Amino acid sequence: MGIFILKTLQGILIGLGAVLPGISGGVLCVVFGIYKPVMELLSAPFHHFKTHVPRLLPVILGAGIGFLGIAGLLAYFLEKYPSPSVCLFVGLIAGMLPSLWKEAGLQGRRRGALPALIIGFGAVTALLCTLQAASVSITPGFGWYLFCGFCLALSLIAPGMSFSTLLMPLGLYTPFVDGIGHLDFHVLIPGGIGAILTVILFSKAMNALFERHYPAAFHAITGIVTAATLMVIPYKSFAASTRSCMINIFFLAAGVAAAQLLDYLNARAPKDNE
């Protein structure tokens, strides 16, 4: 029962990571040691259904709770307390970076590993800087919510690709998350279609990539996550006042502490990616 509760909690965090700014549900799957079975299930669901679904069931249930049950609450806190909320989750993902670095080196750090990390870091930094500098006005609609679903699924099958970092500069993040939280079918239907199509089209390719080029792929992920985390920090809020700075530091520290606790609990739970 304790393992079931722990894995359900992991699923809730993965569901949260799917919608939280700067965080990738796929990265949390990696950190919790379930990325490989998840990708195997997505790439060949009929073949792996009997073997993978029973052991991933608590994670799936938790992800549903975290994704659908918390989205509305998340939208509220991001609107009312944007900087502390973002800082909490920046601390959470920053606290998990050591585990991600360890995961990246499980098969060694070959010649292409560090260049892949640098390329991943530089590419995402350049992309996000370009998006933030661009002045884009978008009216959300069916086509754009399809795109949101694509980005959401991509953040699961390509760890480190946080969909929020792509949608925020376009003004799509808040209406998409708010629509999920309020179970708005005008958002859920196109978003779901986009996510399902993305999984069907790309999951096999991503699974093959990590099987054949594990060190380079995971070091690239580490670079991507580091860049996305640095880019989402609310730097202006830190400089606004001493009080604001102290509040942000507190929530950053709380996030790091929570990540360390989760890592401690996770280290004592059996892994599913063996």
One-character DSSP codes across 201-221? HHHHHHHHHHHHSHHHHHHHH
Q: What are the pLDDT digits (tens) for 192-250? A: 999 999 988 888 887 788 778 888 888 888 888 788 778 778 888 898 889 999 999 99
Count of CB atoms situated within 10 Å of the CB of 90: 25
Q: Residue 36: is it exposed, middle or buried by C-beta count within 10 angstroms (0-12/13-18/19+)?
A: middle
Q: What are the pLDDT digits (tens) for 55-69? A: 888 888 988 887 777
Asked if 112 contacts 212 with a C-beta cutoff of 8 angstroms, the reply is no
| Residue-level pLDDT at 161 | 66
Question: Between the ranges 30-39, 59-68, 115-124, 156-165, where is the mean pLDDT highest?
Answer: 115-124
| Residue-level pLDDT at 106 | 79
pTM of the predicted protein model: 0.69
In this prediction, what percent of the chain has a pLDDT beyond 70? 88
Half-sphere exposure (Cβ direction) of 27: Cα atoms closer than 13 Å:
36
Q: What are the pLDDT digits (tens) for 116-143? A: 999 989 988 888 788 777 665 678 889 9
Q: Residue 170: is it exposed, middle or buried by C-beta count within 10 angstroms (0-12/13-18/19+)?
A: middle
| Residue-level pLDDT at 21 | 62
Q: Is the pLDDT of residue 273 over 50?
A: no
- ∠ Cα 266 272 274 (to 5°): 110
Q: Is the pLDDT of residue 253 over 90?
A: yes
Asked if 204 contacts 143 with a C-beta cutoff of 8 angstroms, the reply is no
| Residue-level pLDDT at 249 | 95
Of the candidates 8, 1, 30, 18, the residue with the CA atom closest to the CA atom of residue 273:
30
- Name 56's Cβ contacts closer than 8 Å, sequence gap at least 6: 34, 37, 38, 41, 272
Chain centre to alpha carbon of residue 191: 17
| Residue-level pLDDT at 121 | 92
Q: Is the pLDDT of residue 171 over 80?
A: no
**Cα 92 from Cα 245, distance rounded (Å):** 18
Domain boundaries, the chain: 2-267
Stated length of the chain: 274
Between 37 and 71, residue with greater pLDDT: 37
- Name 116's Cβ contacts closer than 8 Å, sequence gap at least 6: 215, 216, 217, 219, 220, 223
| Residue-level pLDDT at 136 | 58
Start-to-end CA distance of the chain, whole Å, equals 21
Between 256 and 20, residue with greater pLDDT: 256
Helix 82-104 to helix 242-267 angle, to the nearest 10 degrees? 40
**Cα 186 from Cα 176, distance rounded (Å):** 10
Mean per-residue pLDDT, 151-168? 74
Between 23 and 25, residue with greater pLDDT: 25
| Residue-level pLDDT at 274 | 44
- Name 70's Cβ contacts closer than 8 Å, sequence gap at least 6: 12, 15, 16, 19
